């Protein structure tokens, strides 16, 4: 879970930037592609009950911004739930 917390903070930093720099659009697009290609959303959903409150809030922000990230003029985040409908059942049960 420590590794997951660290990754969540890194994802958020890439997508939102930090006090020293703004987000880089190429890095955001690459992270978005990898996030869904590597099934990181699935892992995040399964780990959600074990995350602390701050990590859950960060995870929510990450998923929200990924929903708005365009890659090659497409919102690829909308394709993922269509192909993984079992995740919606898990989220509803949770």
Q: What's the pLDDT score for residue 3? A: 87
Alpha-carbon distance of 20 to 10, in angstroms, equals 14
The pTM of this model reads: 0.84
Question: 23-34 burial by CB neighbour count: b if 16+ within 10 A, else e?
Answer: eeeeebeebbee
List the alpha helices (DSSP H) in 38-85. Answer: 40-47, 53-68, 79-83
Among 62, 37, 59, CA closest to 50: 59
Alpha-carbon distance of 56 to 50, in angstroms, equals 9
Mean pLDDT by 10 residues, the chain (94 residues): 90 92 94 95 92 94 93 90 90 83
């Amino acid at each position: 879970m420590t590794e997951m917390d660290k990754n969540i903070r890194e994802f958020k930093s890439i997508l939102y930037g930090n006090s020293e720099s703004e987000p880089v659009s190429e890095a955001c697009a690459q992270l978005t592609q990898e996030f869904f290609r590597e099934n990181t959303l699935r892992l995040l959903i399964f780990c959600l009950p074990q995350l602390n409150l701050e990590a859950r809030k960060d995870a929510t922000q990450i998923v929200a911004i990924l929903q708005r990230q365009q890659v090659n003029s497409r919102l690829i985040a909308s394709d993922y739930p269509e192909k993984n409908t079992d995740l919606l059942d898990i989220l509803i049960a949770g």
